[in-house]
Amino acid sequence: MTTTSATALDPQRVQRRTVFLLSSAQLLSGVGNGATLSIGSLLAVDLSGSEAWAGSITTVLTLAAAIAALPLARLAETRGRRVGLVTGLLAAMTGALLVIASVMSSSFLLLLLGAAFLGLGTAANLQARFAAVDLAEPERRGRSLSTVVWAITIGAVAGPNLIQPGAALGSALGLPPIAGPFVFSAMGLLLAAGLLFAGLRPDPLLLARRLARHADSGSAPATQPVRGTIRSGLRAVRSSPQAMVALAAVVAAHGVMVAVMSMTPLHLQQLVGGSHEGHHGGTTESTDALVVIGITISLHIAGMFALSPLWGWLTDKAGRFQTIAMGHGLLLVAVFIAGFGQHEPVLVTAGLILLGLGWSAATIAGSTLLAESIDPDQRVTVQGVSDTLMGAAGALGGATSGVLLAWIGYQGLNMASSVLAAAVLALAAFAIGRQRKSALMNGAADAASG
């Protein structure tokens, strides 16, 4: 596409179409992750023969997403968002097929490989939120990004509810029933990849670059994309105080959320199961605990995604730093309620809901601020680094939370997590103060010159 033809397009019309396509693809691909998270632990125990491997699928998927984030960002940097996203989704479809093959062959290693490939789909879904702001106007970046994040809600809810229909489909196809849901996953991922491959034209990132070059010089020659690394990405972040706050906001929020959320089911199982000891017996205790755990995690996931449009609107209207402060403020309140209310399932559930809300606000506002605080030639690399560090923080939070739970208890785990939330809240408050001071100084200068 030439510069002339690029500028002849209506960027905002392309932007609206891009957000719609990305949201639709998120909805379809979200079904795959929903099925994996719902029955992945069951498959791991079944194929490995040990409950010790129950968390292996989530761990492998999370680590794969973190490792794949930067390579997918490099692919987007050189070939555009469409190629990067489609590659991740097709890899995830391959992962779903590998999971089916692992069930049919009773291979635990093949299951782990399938989970790793599914992690590439998670990385692609994370990068889709950045693709939503490539062409967005500054006053609508938060809302565009949050719309794509919100679309995950439908897939996350639909995935677990497809277990029974998937089992019926698997039986009809001659597959083991537990493999059936992954047929839906593979279909959803294939449709999502096809939708973006056919529809994401012009590519939002490539079009944004052409428009920027035209605005700068009208006929500037294309520059070669920079080969991004974690080191170059972090160097770019350090050059922007706003980007440093943004990166700290999303990484810390993800670490706090995963650390507390991953240990809450175990805490509730001990709390609710033990609360009826000597009265009803083990079966009732187990059933009560599962019901409470299911409700709590469902409400937590709803908090993570369902109100995303609200946080996007606040990001645009109240400000990026202000919404980051709201998010980490909510995280702080959440861990205090869950920690000090550790003996009351209702208070733990309330804490987990606020934990999801705080994560959503901090992630949406932080991602929006990060996207606009970096020079265009380093922006995609920094976004990849951000997703890599988010995944690493989640993996670290999940890995250390069990040790902290055993060492200092559920309340101690929450109090330890509060340190991160409080630190970012202080950073955001400092940034807001500087922002207001700068606005006052500019206003005084304008008044003096007038």
Amino acid letter for position 198: A
How far apart, in Å, are the Cα atoms of 81 and each of 25, 124, 125, 245?
13, 10, 12, 25
What DSSP character marks residue 240? -
- Whether the per-residue pLDDT at 385 is higher than 70: the answer is yes
Residue-level pLDDT at 27: 87
Residue-level pLDDT at 282: 45
Q: Which residues contact 52 (CB under 8 A, 6 or more apart)?
A: none
Q: Pick from 418, 317, 420, 303: which is nearest to 361 by CA?
A: 303
Residue-level pLDDT at 248: 97
- Whether the per-residue pLDDT at 275 is higher than 50: the answer is no
Residue-level pLDDT at 197: 97
- CA 320-322-324 angle, 5° bins: 70
Residues in the chain: 450
Backbone angles phi, psi at 31, to 5 degrees: -60, -35
413 within 8 A of 399, measured Cβ to Cβ: no
Torsion sign over Cα 173, 122, 147, 79: negative
Residue-level pLDDT at 75: 94
- Whether the per-residue pLDDT at 225 is higher than 70: the answer is no
Residue-level pLDDT at 4: 41
110 within 8 A of 125, measured Cβ to Cβ: no
Global pTM value? 0.83
Residue-level pLDDT at 222: 47
- Whether the per-residue pLDDT at 145 is higher than 70: the answer is yes
- Whether the per-residue pLDDT at 7 is higher than 70: the answer is no
Taking the C-alpha atoms of residue 159 and residue 177, their distance in angstroms, rounded to an integer, is 15
Dihedral angle computed from the Cα positions of residues 18, 125, 355 and 414, in that order, rounded to the nearest 10 degrees: -150
Structure-model confidence comparison of residues 211 and 443, the more confident one: 211
- Whether the per-residue pLDDT at 227 is higher than 70: the answer is no
Beta strands (DSSP E) in 48-144 are none
Joined together, the tokens standing for residue 260 give 């507390």
Structural domains of the chain sorted by starting position, each given as residue range(s) with its CATH number in brackets: 7-212 (1.20.1250.20), 230-440 (1.20.1250.20)
Residue-level pLDDT at 175: 84
Taking the C-alpha atoms of residue 7 and residue 402, their distance in angstroms, rounded to an integer, is 54
Place of tokens 């605005």: 215
How far apart, in Å, are the Cα atoms of 187 and each of 28, 35, 192, 231, 371?
9, 12, 9, 37, 32
**Confidence grade of residue 262 (pLDDT, cut at 50, 70, 90):** confident
Over residues 169-185, the mean pLDDT reads 84
- Whether the per-residue pLDDT at 33 is higher than 50: the answer is yes
Amino acid letter for position 357: L
Taking the C-alpha atoms of residue 304 and residue 358, their distance in angstroms, rounded to an integer, is 8
Quickly count: other Cβ atoms within 10 Å of residue 407's Cβ: 11
Average pLDDT for the chain:
86
pLDDT tens across 114-143, in order?
999 999 998 999 899 999 999 999 999 999
Structure-model confidence comparison of residues 372 and 57, the more confident one: 372
- Whether the per-residue pLDDT at 94 is higher than 80: the answer is yes
Q: pLDDT > 70: what percent of the chain?
A: 85
HSE (side-chain half, CA atoms, 13 Å) at 78: 8
**Confidence grade of residue 158 (pLDDT, cut at 50, 70, 90):** low
Q: pLDDT > 90: what percent of the chain?
A: 55
- Whether the per-residue pLDDT at 269 is higher than 90: the answer is no
pLDDT tens across 289-307, in order?
767 887 887 788 889 988 9
What DSSP character marks residue 225? P
Compute the 3-state secondary structure of the chain and give helix, strand, coil in percent, each to the nearest 5: 85, 0, 15
Residue-level pLDDT at 342: 94
Q: Pick from 308, 301, 373, 10: which is nearest to 144 by CA?
A: 308
Over residues 19-40, the mean pLDDT reads 79
Residue-level pLDDT at 278: 40
Place of tokens 């009560």: 288
Backbone angles phi, psi at 373, to 5 degrees: -105, 0
- Whether the per-residue pLDDT at 55 is higher than 60: the answer is yes
Taking the C-alpha atoms of residue 381 and residue 72, their distance in angstroms, rounded to an integer, is 10
What DSSP character marks residue 177? G
Joined together, the tokens standing for residue 59 give 């761990």
**Confidence grade of residue 49 (pLDDT, cut at 50, 70, 90):** confident
What DSSP character marks residue 203? -
Is the preceding omega at residue 202 within 30 degrees of 0, hence cis?
yes
Structure-model confidence comparison of residues 246 and 394, the more confident one: 246
H-helix or E-strand spanning residue 174: none
Q: Pick from 397, 260, 403: which is nearest to 334 by CA?
A: 260
Amino acid letter for position 207: L
Residue-level pLDDT at 272: 84
- Whether the per-residue pLDDT at 68 is higher than 50: the answer is yes
Structure-model confidence comparison of residues 394 and 357, the more confident one: 357
Place of tokens 């690399």: 381
Residue-level pLDDT at 308: 93
72 within 8 A of 80, measured Cβ to Cβ: no
